[in-house]
Structure 1
Amino acid sequence: MSWLVTGGAGYIGSHVVQAFLDAGIVPVVVDDLSSGHAEFVPDGVALVEGSILDTDLVTRTLVDHGCEGVVHLAGFKYAGVSVSRPLHTYDQNVTGTVSLLRAMRTAGVHNYVFSSSASVYGTPDVDQVTEDTPTAPESPYGQTKLIGEWLAADVAKIDPQWRWTNLRYFNVVGSGSDALYDTSPHNLFPIVFDALLAGRTPKVFGDDYPTPDGTCVRDYVHVADLAISHVAAAKAMAAGQDLQGAYNLGSGDGSSVAQIMAAIARVTGIDFAPQIAPRRPGDPARIVANGDAAARDLDWKMRFTLDEMVASAWSARQAH
């Protein structure tokens, strides 16, 4: 038996694929390569190039490869850009998820791990979010992720064999190997690395927040740790275990933007003082997630220090 990984040629998806291989489970990838890379898919792993909007293609893939479950990572993930491209975001993340779930129903596949987002919480009035924190997404991206969670719950009402969970997380960083790296133009580490390599000074947006060093505090989690918990969820479902409807994959304490910048300077050996820019509207001072439930059920833990996260990302960036 095998598991389908949608978006498995992307930054996070390719690490999930590798984690499945490490666990002795055969992964199959569906990816339209709009942001993924075929070379991120290991040799010997089936790569079906196409969109999850193509229901027939996904159905055939599930049947032909005997898939017993799906890890769904494919989607349009840029929260800021989603504001200017709402219809595209809904098409990819909601219509695409409906198409995938319809294919699973047709193929008789009942196990489902959804890559959700901590953006479903919006700007909560708490320092540490739990799975019970009210959801209030503030972008089309966050809204589509919450709708994706609703869809999974609604399928459970009509399929007594349905097992599912939604994994929520904030900032994913690092690399599991030099062959896999973050190519997003919107994520912090690539932005800072590109600036340094081009001789520009990275920016910090606001240094007057009510935090220990004045800069925003967020969860930063290593992509390899994240991948392990996706596979742990898949294995639990395949063994017949029921999981919570949602899990936070969070650090519990977070790191500030200033701490990130200092770690990057230490690891890269590039001495720089970031430029302080005005606050960005809507940036809360501190949001981190409690990961206790995931630690209990999904082998979730922070296995890397901040410097190790930076070092793995920098090594992969230099390799490319």
Structure 2
Amino acid sequence: MSWLVTGGAGYIGAHVVRALAAAGLSPVVIDDLSSGHAGFVPAGVPFVHGTILNRGLVESTLREHDVDGVIHVAGFKYAGVSVQRPLHTYAQNVEGTRIVLEAMAAAGVTNIVFSSSAAVYGTPDVPLVTEDLPKRPASPYGESKLIGEWLIADQARATTDSDAPLRHTSLRYFNVVGSADPSVYDTSPHNLFPIVFEKLIAGETPRINGDDYDTPDGTNVRDYVHVGDIAAAHVVAAQRLAAGEPVEAAYNLGSQNGLSVKEIMDAMARVTGVSFTAEIGPRRPGDPDRIVATGELAARDLDWQMRYTVDEMVRTGWEARRAAPA
């Protein structure tokens, strides 16, 4: 059984590829390397260098490798930057998803796991985010992910009575951290863990944006989930789709409890051995006090678990970053 991973040379996608291979499923990767790295693709895994905006390339890849399903991870993932680049964001995330679905229909591929985002919820004012919470995305990125979910659901409805009905699920996740393979690490310039790691490597002091929020220690509380757990959930979702087992339209891959930015900083100092006291900067506009999601549905259906402590999240991410080529 073969599965195409779009964006499979990226931080999350490369972990999904490894998890698929470990489960005995044959991964195939397509990636334009705009943010991914060819070196993240394991030896022996077929790698197609190209964009998902090329419908012919996607379709030929699906046919050539006799693909059974798609795990659609590729996309432009920077919420803040999407405000300045909405057209680019929509082209990559909305048009890209439409083209993937079109190529799947032409090639007769009927299973898709969509990597969505907690950004579809915007800034909810409830203590625990559930899947049925109203969707109020606050950025073009969040909007594009929600539209991607709509596209997939619409295509599934349109093919319900056909010979090849589309089966699908969307996985909404939050702050993905750590590493499950020392050769793969987060290279995003916008995520907290790599920002802190680069500061520490450069001998600089990390900063916390605001310490006067309505939380126990005054800093934002967020879901931080390990990339190995995220990858494992994608594989179980793929297996359930391929087996014809029931799945929900969407699942939150949430931690249930969350961690504060100060707790992350304390773990960073503790695990890396680099002693520091984070600088306190001003709040960022629009940052809510707390966004944490339940993972109950995913635990029920996708064997979703938080298998890593905060120290293990930091340790695995730090070790992978330190092992990276200079």
Same fold by TM-score greater than 0.5: yes
Q: Identify the residue that residue 226 of structure 1 maps to in structure 2.
A: 230
Q: Which amino acid letter does the alignment assign opposite residue 19 of structure 1?
A: A
Deviation at 1:90, TM superposition (A): 0.5
Cα RMSD for the two superposed structures: 0.5
- Indicate yes or no: 2:168 matched with 1:164: yes
Q: Which amino acid aligns with 1:184?
A: S
Long gaps (5+) in structure 1: none
Q: 1:192 corresponds to which letter in structure 2? A: V
Per-residue Cα deviation, 1:187-223 (whole angstroms, up to 9, x for no partner): 1111001111111111100100010000000000000
Quote the offset at 1:257 in angstroms: 0.1
TM-score, length of structure 2 as denominator length:
0.98
How far did residue 244 of structure 1 move?
0.5
Q: Secondary structure at the match of 2:204?
A: coil
Amino acid at match of 1:178: P
CA contact (8 A) 1:129 1:288 kept: yes
The yes-or-no answer on 1:211 pairing with 2:198 is no
1:241 deviation in Å? 1.2
1:237 aligns with 2:241: yes
Q: Which residue of structure 2 aligns with residue 76 of structure 1?
A: 76
In structure 1, C-alpha distance between the alignment counterparts of 2:204 and 2:270, rounded to whole Å: 17
Per the alignment, residue 188 of structure 1 pairs with 192
Query: Which residue does the alignment assign to 1:64?
Result: 64
What amino acid maps onto 2:35 in structure 1? S
User: Separation in 2 of the partners of 1:210 and 1:89?
Assistant: 33
- What residue in structure 1 maps to residue 292 of structure 2? 288
Partner of 2:311: 307
Alignment partners' CA distance in 1, 2:189 and 2:218? 25
Q: What SS class does the counterpart of residue 292 from structure 2 fall into?
A: strand
User: 1:265 maps to which residue?
Assistant: 269
The residue matched to 1:232 in structure 2 has which SS? helix
Alpha-carbon distance between aligned partners in 1 of 2:9 and 2:231, rounded to the nearest angstrom:
13
* In structure 2, C-alpha distance between the alignment counterparts of 1:233 and 1:196, rounded to whole Å: 37
Deviation at 1:242, TM superposition (A): 2.4
Q: CA deviation at 1:289?
A: 0.6
TM-score (norm 1): 0.99
Distance 2:64 2:88 in 1: 30
- Counting only pairs closer than 5 Å after superposition, residues 96-135 of structure 1 correspond to structure 2 as 96-135=96-135
Tell me the distance in 1 between the aligned counterparts of 2:250 and 2:209.
31
The match for 1:91 is 91
Equivalenced residues, count = 320
Q: How does 1:1-12 map to 2 (within 5 A)?
A: 1-12=1-12
Determine the C-alpha separation between the residues in 2 that align with 1:114 and 1:245: 10
- Contact kept in structure 2, 1:120 and 1:136, CA below 8 Å: yes
Percent sequence identity over matched residues? 66
Partner of 2:18: 18
Runs of 4+ in 1 over 3 A off after TM superposition: none
Give, in whole Å, the separation in 1 of the partners of 2:302 and 2:118. Answer: 17
2 CA distance for matches of 1:216 and 1:258?
A: 8
Asked if structure 2 preserves the Cα contact closer than 8 Å seen for 1:163 and 1:242, the reply is no
Secondary structure at the aligned position of 1:48 is classed as strand
After superposition, what is the alpha-carbon deviation per residue over 1:109-166, rounded to whole angstroms, capped at 9, x for unaligned? Answer: 1101000000000011101100011100000000000000000100011112211011
Deviation at residue 40 of structure 1 after TM alignment: 0.5
